[in-house]
Amino acid sequence: MSNEKSNVPMIMGIIGGVIGLPSAVCAGACVAGLSSLSETSQDASDLGSTYLIMGVLGSLLGLYSGIIGKSKPKLSGILFLIATFMSGITMIAGNMIALIVTILFLIGSVFSFKNSKS
């Protein structure tokens, strides 16, 4: 068995991070727009900002996790799980692009933990 580490976490992190950034903007705008119909404009703005920040931080965390995937696979796996959770929250807004990002980060997490055992 070779001791070669997989490139999958890096690829999943980069693709998920790149797709996740516009997805986060979409989630923030959609939540703010839909919330403005039923709440005050300040509450809608705050809710939209929360979704935007969660999505952007999740995407950047997933991108960073992919970059450190080979050198620190266990840390990368943990950070991928956190990024999966943060990107998954934006799915509440009906953002199906976030579903793709969440799946990519979850796959990256699995492969990161697999790399840490070999």
The tens place of each residue's pLDDT in the chain, 118 residues long, gives: 456 778 888 999 999 999 999 988 888 888 877 777 776 777 778 888 888 899 899 999 999 999 998 899 999 999 999 999 999 888 887 788 889 999 999 999 999 999 887 6
Tokens read off for 108:
């990256």
Give the domain ranges of the chain: 8-117
pLDDT at residue number 13: 92
The model's pTM: 0.87
What is residue 100's predicted lDDT score, i.e. its pLDDT?
92
Q: CA angle, 20 as apex, 17 and 23 as ends, to 5°?
A: 165
